[in-house]
Each structure stands twice: as C-alpha cells, then as structure tokens.
Amino acid sequence: MNNNKKNNWQRYIVVFLITSAIFLTGLWFSGFLDQRRIKQLQNIENTISLDLQSSEIQFSLLEELSCEDISSSTVLSSELNSLAEKLSYSESNIGIENEEVISLKKYYSLLQIKDYLLMKKITERCGEESTFILYFYKNTECQDCTKQGYVLTSLREKYPKLRVYSFDYNLDLSAIKAMIAIYKVEDNLPALVINGEVHNGFKTIEEIEEMVPELKESLKIEEDQTEGEIEDTKEAKN
Amino acid sequence: MLGYNFNHSILFCLYKTLKNIANNAIITITMDSVISILFYVFSFLAIYIQVFFLVTYIEKRKTIIKNPDKLKLKFYPTVTVAVPCYNEEGTITKTVNSLLNLDYPKSKLRLFLIDDGSKDNTWNIIKEFHNGKNIFAFTKENGGKHTALNLALERTDSEFFGCLDSDSLVHPQALKRILSYFERDKETMAVCPSIVVYEPKNFLQKAQTIEYHMSIYNKKMLGFVGGIHVTPGPFSIFRKKVFDELGPYHKAHNTEDQEIALRMQKNGYKIDHCPDAYVYTITPNTVRKLYKQRLRWIYGFIKNLMDYKTLLFKKKYGTVGLLTLPSGIIGVLGVIFLFVNVIYNLSNFIYHKIIQIQTVGFENLFSFNGFNFDWFFFNTKAVIFSSIFMYGLILTSLLIGRKLAENRAKFSMSVFYYLIVYSVIAPFWMLKAALNSIVSKESSWTGERKVKSS
C-alpha cells in the first residue's frame, strides 16, 4: 500500500560513512592532542634531565665552587611536582596502560632518584636543611594511598624544605626495584622511607611530624629569620 | 624522514588512539572503561540519527511545500473533528472558537465535543455550542480519551476524521493545508500538523518552544522517509477508512495517538506531515505538570514499543522499524546513561573530597596554588569532540525547525532554558517511565487534568 516502505539503503550507507568520518575525526584529533601532550612531557623531562646533569657536573666540581652556587642551580622540586601533576593527568586521560605514558613515568621516576641522590649529597656536603621522604604507592586497590597522597601534598605545602619523591611500587623499573630491595619495602602499601627507615601503612600529618622533628624546627628557624629580617628593616627605616 | 612523516600522519595517530581504546577495553575492563565505551556507542548512534535527518533535509528541502496564505482546494470533503475534554473549563471555549474560525465550508465540517465525565464546568460550557447541525455535544462517564474519540467515530460518516485536544487551538488555514496533502497523494492516510507552544510565558514553556520546533523538523524528515510513529492528539487528520479498516482507537497505555500511528505503519499506511498547518498547544507551566505529561508519553512509548516489537529492525516496515523506534530506544537509554554517568562522577568527586577532608581537614580543599592557565589540563578525550559535534547537530536541527515553524532561523535565550531544563529534568521522567513500564504502572491522562479547587 505504501511505497514509502521502500528502504533507501543508499541513504543509510551515506549517513553511516558521514557519521564514521565525524567520529574518526574526533578520535584522530583527540589522539593528535594526546601526542602533543606526550611530546610536551618529553620536553619537560629532557629539560629536567639536562638540569640534573648540569648539577651533577657542578657537584663534581664542588671543590672549585661555593655551596651557594650549587644549591641555587639544582633542579627545583616544583618543576618535578608540576611534571608529576601532568603525568598523573595523562595517566587518567590517555590511559594508565598507555606504553608512552608508562615510559614517561619510568623516566620521571629515574629523574626523581637522580634528584634525590644529588640533593642528599649536597645536603651532606653543604649542610642544607632538607628532609626527604620516599613514598611508595600503587594505583589500584589502595584506598590508603589516596589518603597518603593528600597528607604528603599538605605537608609539602606546609614545609617548603620537605622533598617528597613518589614511586609506583608496581612500575617495572629496575631502579625502583633496587630501592625497594635496599630499603626492604613490603607490599603493605602505602610505605614511607624517612631517614632510611621504612614505615608501612597510612600515616597522618601528626605522625609524620613526630617522625621528622626537623620539619617543625625548620619552620621555626624560618619564622625566626623572617621576624629578624622584618626587625632589621624597621631598624634601617628608623 | 619517512619515519618522521609516518609518526605524524593521520593514520598513525588514529592507529595509536584506536589501539589505546582497544587496550582500555580489553586489558582493563574497569567501570571507567565501560562508561567510556558506552559513551562512544551512544554518541555514535546519536550522531548517526542527527546526520540522517540532516542528509534527508539537504536532499528533500526543495520539496517542502509552502502553502499560500489563502489556499483553495479542488474538493472540500466532509471532515469530523472530535474534541475530547476532561476538566478543561479554562480552555475549551478558545479551542472550539478556533475550530469555528477555520477557513473551511461550515457545511462540510462537523464538530463533536465530548465531555469525558469532567468534574468541573466543562459540560455546561460545551453544551452551549451544541446546535444539532454541525456541532454536537456529548457527555459520558469517564472512560479515557480513546473512548471519547471512539464515540465520535461511531457517529460519523465523514470522509476525514481528526481530533483536537481541548488544550490546543488551530490556525485558520490548518485544515485546508492538511487536506491539500491528501489531495496531492491518494496514498496518504494521515497527516500530522506542526505543533507550537501557545503564548509561552515562563522559562519552562519557553524551553518547550525549542523542543516543539525541533520536533517539527524531525517529524517532517520522518514524514519524507515514512517513519512517523506518532499522530499527535492536536489535530492529526486521518482518512476515515483508516478506522474502518484498522478498527477504532485503543487505550494503548493512554497514548492512543502513538498506537494508531504504529498500527498504521504496521499495515503499510502512509503518514505525512504538513509543516505549515499550525496548532497552538498550551504546554505545562510547572515542572510537576511537565513531568507528569512526559512520564505518560515515555511510558506509552515504551509500552507501545513492546506491543509493536515485531516492527523493530524489520526491513519490510521501513524507517519506523529501522530508525524511528530504535532512535527512541537510544534516546531513552542515552539520557538515562548520561544521568547515571553524571551521578557516578559527582558521587566519585564528593567521595574523594570527603576522604580529603577526613584526612587533612578543610585547609587544602579549595587551594589552587595560584591558578595557572595551562592547555595541558583541558579535557580533549574523543567523547568531548563527539559531544561538540552532537550539540552542533542538535543546534542545527533547532535552527531548521525554527525556520520551518516561524520562517526565521535565530537563536534565543530559550535554547539555554531548553538545554538546562531537559538535561536536569528529562532523566527523571525517562528513568521513572522505564521503571513504571517494568512494573506496568500506568500514568493517566486525567491525572494531568485536576479540577482547580474553587
């Protein structure tokens, strides 16, 4: 009765092709921007790596340089922190299983270890007031790791001298495995290594402050210094 | 050099992205990856439907008939219009007057005003119109809209039959414009009008204006490809022989206008749409009323779909089985999915914030460490781009719908009202309708027409 019942298959196919083209363009553009992100991360890591190498060379030449010159030109944690934020974003957006993201994460972990070793040497040699925390976590099935992350972020903001290096326990990287073996870090995560001592399980801000009394002391010294500077300025004005 | 070019080629990027999606899908079947895959599926299907309409519009736009202001028909067949009413004392006079103002020979037009057991003054009003010549008023015990329409069908021998909901008004030229479609094509068995919102006052009614404009476009496109699945209560006109051959209206879960259209499609009857036959309908002005109306519509759609599931994906039933009904299913499921997704993300966010507060207090809850603009943190997942395409296509359909309805394609604030109202409230009636259809809890037509307490 109704000749409208004739299906226009050609229209269905053309629409399918157009929709696929739109969809694939979206996929391609998204992939293209992800590649740009990865490139940006590579550039940041290369810059940090270069800075680290430069610091290492400076450290080797320590005898000819003053401590002041070295510490001011070493890699800043903020740069590593910003890289960490971007890596974490890439993990959740590009994919935790993405090979390039994993590779970048490995490189980032190596940079952290290098920075840690160098900063430790400089601290010992030049008497810098820095505290180091090595933090081992895992991405899945670890509620306490999320909480520990909040605690460490909060501590880092409170104590600028604190340097936190975080490592994915399950990352297939020999350097991390070596650290796990050296400090005997167990699978019971999160785990913190403070002054060479391993602390398993979640630790609150107060507990960490108790473990590292230097943190509060460094804050006091800083406050005293600031007060002293203010008084000096007042006197100078008078 | 060759390697460099390949690394940056479209194909390579595409390969990488598809590989990532595949990795996500196969290796880690997490909640997030399931959501992501569903998002891709729904957005692909939604884009497909919108592109289908757009392609049809581009192909057929020149064949859309624009009738002159004063149209003359070759013949003026007899037409009966039934007006079923239940508690419509506030609007019935306007509705009947609009019918009396139709530009159509009075001797050829019969009006059946049927009071379906109203509890207000409706009967007293409509009996005043009764003249025993071309206007007939009836009152009966409440039995539902379909019983009122069937009462009119039993008493008429007109060549054409139509219904006008008692909350709607017709444009004086609407009937002639609709009948011109029957005159042009003898195979056309029913023609739907363009329904627009009558004097939208508040933001809710303005939001519905947009929806009705879009539906004019969708209906016209479906009309072109034989895919109309609803002959709306406000002024759809049928050849009387449709009912003689297929039987009267059914209760059809209080959506008899959907059922009769599906019955016609099943039997190969052609349904068309006349974009310039305007019917002005009074739309719900409160969220509660809108919710109740849509609950009935969606519930009716789901239940009628179950009753006519034989139409689904059968090529012999054409566009209705292959596109219209599947797109309705995608619409209901898609909106529910989006809603669940938003709730999931929101609860995830709140859950993490609670953990953060419990762990470190309120100190760092809103600390942004000095906001730095960095494109790196822009969400550029493929679903974002497909959503942008999707919204682009929806806005295009809105513009075309507006052009068909008002002969002007302009954006207004109502678009924002539409996006806000429908993304916030629609999931609730969709979910409720889906749940009701599982437990077969009907929404009533009369429930939307409560008597105002005097």
CA distance A166 to A153: 11
**Looking at beta carbons, which residues of chain B come within 8 Å of A25?**
385
Q: Which of B268, B356, B359 sits opposite A1 (nearest CB)?
A: B268
Please report the number of interchain residue pairs, chain A to chain B, with beta-carbon separation below 8 angstroms.
138
Q: What is the residue-averaged pLDDT of chain A?
A: 80
**Looking at beta carbons, which residues of chain B come within 8 Å of A204?**
359
pLDDT along chain B (454 residues), means of 10: 40 53 51 80 92 94 85 94 94 95 95 94 95 93 94 95 94 96 95 94 92 94 94 95 96 92 96 95 93 92 94 91 94 88 87 85 60 68 83 91 82 86 86 84 59 40
pTM listed for this prediction: 0.80
- Residue spans of the domains in chain B: they are 29-358+382-454
**Looking at beta carbons, which residues of chain B come within 8 Å of A7?**
315, 318-319, 322
Q: Is the pLDDT of residue A198 over 50?
A: yes
When scoring B36, B51, B224 by the number of chain A Cβ atoms within 10 A, the one with the most, hence best to mutate, is: B51
Q: Determine the pLDDT at residue A71.
A: 54
Give per-residue pLDDT as tens, B10-37: 445 455 555 555 555 444 456 777 888 8
**Nearest chain B residue (CA) to A32:** B13
- Which one-letter amino acid corresponds to residue B51? V
Give the number of other CB atoms < 10 A from CB of residue B101.
12
Q: Which of A14, A93, A94 sits opposite B55 (nearest CB)?
A: A14
Q: Is the pLDDT of residue A1 over 70?
A: no
Report the interhelical angle of B325-360 vs A143-158 (nearest 10°): 50
Q: Determine the pLDDT at residue A233.
A: 67
Average pLDDT over residues A18-28: 92
Q: Which of B13, B17, B55 sits opposite A15 (nearest CB)?
A: B55
Please indicate if any CB of chain B lies within 8 Å of the CB of A141.
no
End-to-end CA distance of chain B: 85
Q: Which of A7, A18, A29 sits opposite B385 (nearest CB)?
A: A29
* DSSP-assigned states of every residue in B250-268: --GGG-HHHHHHHHHHHTT
CA distance B420 to B5: 45
Range(s) for CATH 3.40.30.10 in chain A?
A: 129-238
When scoring A22, A82, A206 by the number of chain B Cβ atoms within 10 A, the one with the most, hence best to mutate, is: A22
Going by C-alpha positions, the residue among B173, B179, B113, B107 that lies closest to residue B140 is: B113
Q: Determine the pLDDT at residue B189.
A: 97
**Nearest chain B residue (CA) to A15:** B52
Q: Determine the pLDDT at residue B29.
A: 54
Going by C-alpha positions, the residue among B1, B46, B3, B5 that lies closest to residue B387 is: B46
CA distance B10 to B18: 12
Instruction: Kindly report the backbone phi and psi dihedral angles of residue A98, in degrees, each rounded to the nearest multiple of 5, phi listed first.
Output: -65, 125
Q: Which of A32, A89, A98 sits opposite B13 (nearest CB)?
A: A32
CA distance B436 to B432: 6
CA distance B346 to B353: 11
Q: Is the pLDDT of residue A237 over 80?
A: no
CA distance B208 to B293: 12
**Nearest chain A residue (CA) to B52:** A15
Contact call for residues A190 and A142 (beta carbons, < 8 A): yes
Q: Which of B269, B322, B376 sits opposite A2 (nearest CB)?
A: B269
Q: In angstroms, what CA-CA distances link A105 with A75, A85, A97, A100, A115?
A: 18, 11, 11, 9, 15
For the domain covering A129-238, report its CATH number. Answer: 3.40.30.10
Touching B: A residues 25-64, CB under 8 Å: 25-35, 37, 40
Please indicate if any CB of chain B lies within 8 Å of the CB of A22.
yes
Q: Determine the pLDDT at residue B17.
A: 55
Please indicate if any CB of chain B lies within 8 Å of the CB of A124.
no
Half-sphere exposure of A217 (CA within 13 A, CB side): 8
Q: Determine the pLDDT at residue A107.
A: 85
Specify the CATH number for B29-358+382-454; select among 3.30.70.520, 3.40.50.2300, 3.90.550.10, 3.40.50.620: 3.90.550.10
Q: Which is more confident, A150 or A216? A: A150
CA distance A32 to B354: 36
Contact (CB<8Å) B51/A15? yes
